[in-house]
Amino acid sequence: MDADVIVAGGGLAGLFNALQLNRAGLKVTVIEKKNYPFHRVCGEYISNEVLPFFDKLDVDVNTLKASHINQLEITSVSGKKFAQPLDLGGFGLSRYTFDHYLYQKAQAEGVTFMLNTHINDIRFADNRFEVVLPGQTLTAPLVIGAFGKRSNLDKQLNRPFFYRRSPYVGIKVHVKIDFPDNLIQLNNYKDGYCGVVKVDDGKWCMCSMVHRDDVRKYGGLPEVQEHIICKNPYLKELFGHAELLMDKPEVINEISFEKKAPVEQHVLMSGDTAGMIAPLCGNGMTMAIHSSKILSENIIKHYKLSQPFTTQQRQALEQEYTQAWNRQFARRLWLGRRLQKLFGSGRAVDVAISALNLMPGIAPYLIGKTHGQPFA
């Protein structure tokens, strides 16, 4: 065997799994198609529920100049606004900075990385995996799928959601704007929304979701910004005075909020690969980090370094991981998919914001239902 665990994808879920499993004595290889540091489409906000876990792993985001967030606002195209303190709070941190930090930390601790490397296929036979790369094939008893929201590996594994087309396009830019340091703002417009939050190093992340039909109708992203996104008066003001800090936006097509399975053909899925949460309902970065903890703990429980990994052990691992994943995330994802339908619907959002302003006690309840508790 070339490794005890091969991690397909070097995002947050992959990196945190690698750190934990390496510290437990397992030989871990992470395969990532890009080279650090690089941008990802992401809202770049993390709930403070992760902080006890970070302390346990000696991950200090303060050294990375993360922002501190304690206020939420939701706005509509008509100009309505709802504001709510975030009792638990969170922080903003760019994936460009955070993923690179975790990569350097994991590499220094002994994790093997294969960067700029595409995985052509993942095969399972005789109770072991073959991971097919250009020019070579690696073998391992376990493979973690951490390759993000959508990948050709989803097609190779014949995952049902891959064949149901999604109309959503994600766009992220880093900008310099006049905007509060402690605020995360979710701004609605036709068929989508844009999250705004300060991240590290004096930058703000503006991450938008738009409908592909609007891109086709208006001919490109700048035109969609003018005719769709900036119909929201708050976004018109922000984009009108924003200084772009990236050469070009980071874009991902066909963002899917479909239900996914935590295990597919014995590949153990983690992070967005296992299930993506709508931005209104918690945040994908926190979920990816927490899912890595759940998965790594189950692997360490069932995988014994001094013994061959048996079919029975694999079955127990897959069953317990699926149950633990569903206990922690299934309800949040269910609620997230339903609240997702509100966003992008002008009248529905106006009604929702009016209701929240009239009955402010609803908001803490929804936030509580769509976020987790601190974990270590």
At residue 319, what is the residue type?
Q
DSSP 3-state of 180: coil
- The answer to whether the bond into 37 is cis (omega within 30° of 0) is yes
Please report where in the chains the tokens 């198609």 appear, as a residue: 33
As a whole number of angstroms, the distance between CA 240 and CA 41 comes to: 22
Which residues of the chain are modeled with pLDDT < 50? 281
Please report the pLDDT score of residue 151 as a whole number: 85
At residue 98, what is the residue type?
F
| Distance linking the first and last C-alpha atoms of the chain | 32
Q: 131 - beta bridge partners?
A: 122, 138
For residue 81, the tally of other CB atoms under 10 A from its CB is 15
Note the pLDDT tens digit of each residue in 101-120.
999 999 999 999 999 999 99
Domain ranges of the chain: 5-370
Nearest 5°: phi and psi at 180?
A: -60, 140
CA distances from 322 to 203, 248, 274, 318, 375 (A): 38, 39, 10, 6, 19
Q: Torsion angle, CA of 223/225/226/229, rounded to 10 degrees?
A: 140
Contact 139, 2 (CB under 8 A): yes
The burial of 105, by beta-carbon neighbours within 10 Å (0-12 exposed, 13-18 middle, 19 or more buried), is given as middle
Note the pLDDT tens digit of each residue in 220-259.
889 999 999 999 999 999 999 999 999 999 999 887 777 7
Please report the pLDDT score of residue 350 as a whole number: 87
As a whole number of angstroms, the distance between CA 127 and CA 310 comes to: 7
Contact 92, 184 (CB under 8 A): yes
DSSP letter, residue 110: T
Specify the fold of 5-370: FAD/NAD(P)-binding domain (3.50.50)
Q: Directed axis angle between helix 95-108 and helix 12-23, to 10°? A: 20
The DSSP line for 43-85 is --EEEGGGHHHHHHHT--GGGGT-EEEEEEEEE-TTS-EEEEE
